[in-house]
Amino acid sequence: MTADLRVRQFGRADAAPRAYRRRGGPPWWFALPALLFFAFVVLVPSVRGVYYAFTDWDGLDPEFDFIGLRNFTDMLDDATASQAIWHTLLIAVAITVIQNGIGLLLALGVNSAIKSRNILRVLLFAPVVVTPIVTAYLWRNLLGPDGAVNSLLAVVGLESWQQDWLGDPDLALWMVVLVVVWQFAGYSMVIFLAGLQSIPREIYEAAAIDGTGAVRRFWSIVRPLLAPAITINLMLSIIGGIKLFDQVYALTGGGPGHATDTISTLIYKDAFTLGEFGYSIALAVVLTIIIAIVSAGQYAALSRNERAAS
């Protein structure tokens, strides 16, 4: 009786997907309200915004002219824009490498059997929950000429190391990288930690029995199994680094001079300080294209490596 009931139940359960497949999958119109909302809120404003990149609109005057590609050709002759593009790429690469390197080391550390690992996980993740703008203002005070960093150097007898950390054009950009890495290394750590904890403990034990060293164990066992976490972290870091705005603007305002200006800070300045909305939108279009190209290339490369490692 019970077996017959199960057969009938499984039969009905199996029949439903077959009928579902015969109808050609889920009805597409279920997603129509969401698609219309997305088109109204995202697609239409985006397309309209791209149009302004080909105009001389100042953001206020209802009258403006269509000027074709002039904003983009002006960008090629704009040394500040070229410098901002270089800073954007440099910051993105530096953040991606340093943040994920530190995040991986932290994850390996707190994944061990030390007793205080849960407390360490909370402490290392804590900066992530603070808003970036608050973090930036905090570090601006610490790195100022009279800030805690210079005071600490004086206390330990290293007065010669004291610097105007955010006022020196050679140091300011790296101070921005330092602050971003300090805040988000814990975020990378959590993703790596989730990947490490998904690796069965028996694999570690079998490798230990075979006498495999720690470095070989990491490279041959942990790294391939950690490939999905590496892909996610690298994608998030590079995109976040290219879009970086709030920490840069709160820390340095793009200065000194234009030493820390990125594409995002330049978009803001051109739009709301200089009133060149058409030019700033052209910069935003370039930023979008850079993000799309870098993301697509990185995803293709990482997916290939991920398949090779699996």
Read off the pLDDT of each residue in 106-125 and give the average, rounded to a whole number.
Answer: 85
Q: Provide the residue ranges of all domains of the chain, joining segments of one domain with +.
A: 53-309
Indicate the range of 119-123, 213-217, 305-309 predicted with least confidence: 305-309
Phi, psi of 55 (to 5 degrees): -125, 170
Decide: 263 and 286 in contact? Cβ < 8 Å.
yes
* pLDDT of the residue at 2: 44
The percent of residues above 70 in pLDDT, for the chain, comes to 90
Q: Give the C-alpha separation, 164 to 168, whole Å.
A: 6
pLDDT value at 80 more than 60: yes
Does 35 or 214 have the greater pLDDT score? 35
* pLDDT of the residue at 1: 45
Q: What is the mean pLDDT of the chain?
A: 85
Q: How confident is the model at residue 187 (pLDDT cuts 50, 70, 90)?
A: very high
Q: Which of these, 105, 259, 119, lies nearest to 176 by C-alpha position?
A: 259
pLDDT value at 130 more than 80: yes
Per 3-state DSSP, the chain is made up of helix, strand and coil in percentages (nearest 5) of 75, 0, 25
Q: Give the C-alpha separation, 265 to 245, whole Å.
A: 6
Indicate the range of 14-23, 38-47, 78-87 predicted with least confidence: 14-23
DSSP 8-class letter at 129: G
Read off the pLDDT of each residue in 154-175 and give the average, rounded to a whole number.
Answer: 90
Q: How confident is the model at residue 64 (pLDDT cuts 50, 70, 90)?
A: confident
Indicate the range of 51-55, 94-98, 151-155, 215-219 predicted with least confidence: 215-219
Q: Identify any residues that bridge with 66 across adjacent strands, giving them in sequence order.
A: 55
Instruction: Give me the residue label for tokens 């004086």.
Output: 154
* pLDDT of the residue at 83: 93
pLDDT value at 10 more than 50: no
Q: What is the pLDDT of residues 210-261, one digit of tens each?
A: 777 778 888 888 888 888 888 889 989 998 999 899 999 999 988 888 899 9
Read off the pLDDT of each residue in 15-25 and give the average, rounded to a whole number.
Answer: 58
* pLDDT of the residue at 18: 61
Q: Give the C-alpha separation, 155 to 61, whole Å.
A: 57
DSSP 8-class letter at 165: T
pLDDT value at 9 more than 50: no
- The correct answer on CATH 1.10.1670.10 for the domain covering 53-309 is no
* pLDDT of the residue at 97: 94
DSSP 8-class letter at 112: S
Q: Is 31 left (phi over 0), alpha (psi -120 to 50) or beta?
A: alpha
